[in-house]
Structure 1
């Protein structure tokens, strides 16, 4: 009678151990002096530095990458998708003024390949270094029969810190405040179900070919990693009071901006006040998509919005530009009912 093993059932423990060995240096490259234990323990240890913090508040966030993973599979490119996962998490907690401290990841796959997992974790580590946080742990699960052999899913978890008196809530946003928009690198990590449906399924455009009006191949454009805004926003917080921050992810302008608005104001967005990357024009034209649907789905070239007092607008703009960010004055706060109003210039 044949003796069954875990490997016969589809789980290769030795390959998993090899993956841990390959990713170890990427993980260690993110460690700060606050990390107390090397990779391999059952939990990650992080010593809080509370110097200058009167009332410490921990802020947590979790997210994944969504169907952008399909592009990584099609292109067989896995070294940037991890940055997307980090960005989706750290940009979220940044909206409340939190400094990211540490990050954990979860990767599940049908059949584990050590080099592929290493590439994914390298992207995660790269994102953590950009965000200034430590990758202190994670989990890799091999689940044959649940995922296809060449496919995987990824999720991330971040914990940040903010002084209670400095939590950004949006509660004091008022009429006359201005809205600054930080440029995105492209689609970031949302709207890919619609983008794939239009560009790949309906139009059957070539991922590796040139497509007008894109400057890069379609695949290169679609796989661009999500921008991480931690450094830029932290520098602004040291110079002016930020009243509200909105991370423009799934749901676009219409879902994310109202989350920071008081009940008695609207956000008026001036169309034409920033450069919309050509990938959005391509999707809209090829899919015959109405403008309002685009702004309900995509970031349209604005990855994050900051609301500041009118008197602080120029200072905030200069500080952001000095960090290398492309930033635009894209709108203003008016009396209203907690809504987004798109205004033609």
Structure 2
């Protein structure tokens, strides 16, 4: 039963678990990170109700391409390891790589960070990673939302979502429609598991009992399993300026066999040669720990190939040269051929 003094006590938003001052402190901390990502098309700064961005004048018939994604259960490992400095890069990569495959140059990015109680240091570390990802992609971090929601998340945990907008001239839009028999399939090396398959990865880590600090092929295992998703934007934009690309596929959830078909015209199959690249140590370890069948590996993980590019045979050598010069590790991993009756649109042999 309440007393008169209880009824007269003034209750604040902070008493309910929301610290507006902490949110203001976070905004001040992240402003320098965001400033480094600015582009001349950005109008205004961080902190407004909306973010303003002028379409670059170089586009003659601009088509806006948008994408949104998260980091998935890789965040669970970030909480367990208290390692928050790279998941922001993952967040940016998942969206900018997606819009890139349609030929779009990422222009700007917004993030959504949600938690039960705002820990300014943790949030700043995450958002600093987001800014680093934006720098790698050449897009501006123009704003976002930090939501403190008591009771929604366990202590020390948070969720992330990201939103990217890019632009491509209508004439340069890539949709895979020109892909034909005989075209070459190039694979660009991944930096690790990227941000996919982590529900299975976490299960295998638990099953193995591996020490996160243990040496794994010259690096601590935690650094290998938490390696941020590779951002392919600058190298592939350089390729697109030099030659026509028929199709691209970002190898995310669903692995190689489920993502490559998304850009193939009906009646064609991408025949991928597994022997054309070496399965990286992390994936070899995962396969062994779970006794995972090859077909399951290729539809769950990127298996060392984070991006696929389809080109005319005459362009393959030059494309490999351009991408290698831009810092990519490139493999010729297959060919496009006619699809057999009842066959999947992508097969790994």
Q: Normalising by the residue count of structure 2, what TM-score does the alignment of the two structures yield?
A: 0.95
Structure 2 residue corresponding to 1:96, chosen from 88, 91, 102:
102
Structure 2 residue corresponding to 1:112, chosen from 101, 109, 118:
118
2:38 corresponds to: 31
- Residues 169-184 of structure 1 mapped to structure 2, 5 A cutoff: 169-184=175-190
Structure 1 ranges of 4+ moved more than 2 A: none
SS in 1 for 2:333: strand
Q: Which runs of 5 or more structure 2 residues have no equivalent in the other structure? A: 1-5
2:140 corresponds to: 134
Structure 1 residue corresponding to 2:282, chosen from 271, 279, 282:
279
* Stretch moving more, 181-190 or 108-117: 108-117
SS in 2 for 1:32: coil
Matches of 2:38 and 2:337, distance apart in 1: 45
Question: Is the counterpart of residue 56 in structure 1 residue 56 in structure 2?
Answer: no
Structure 1 residue corresponding to 2:154, chosen from 137, 142, 148:
148
SS in 2 for 1:272: helix
1:164 corresponds to: 170
Structure 1 residue corresponding to 2:248, chosen from 245, 253, 263:
245
Matches of 2:210 and 2:10, distance apart in 1: 49
Question: Is the counterpart of residue 314 in structure 1 residue 317 in structure 2?
Answer: yes
Which of these two proteins has the greater Rg computed from alpha carbons?
2
Structure 1 residue corresponding to 2:202, chosen from 192, 196, 203:
196
2:131 corresponds to: 125
2:306 corresponds to: 303
Cα shift at 1:55: 1.5
1:19 corresponds to: 26
Q: Normalising by the residue count of structure 1, what TM-score does the alignment of the two structures yield?
A: 0.96
Q: Which runs of 5 or more structure 1 residues have no equivalent in the other structure? A: none
Cα shift at 1:275: 2.3
The Cα RMSD (Å) is: 1.0
Q: Tell me if the contact between 2:250 and 2:259 (Cα under 8 Å) persists in the aligned partners.
A: yes
Cα shift at 1:71: 1.3
Q: Tell me if the contact between 2:257 and 2:348 (Cα under 8 Å) persists in the aligned partners.
A: no
1:68 corresponds to: 74
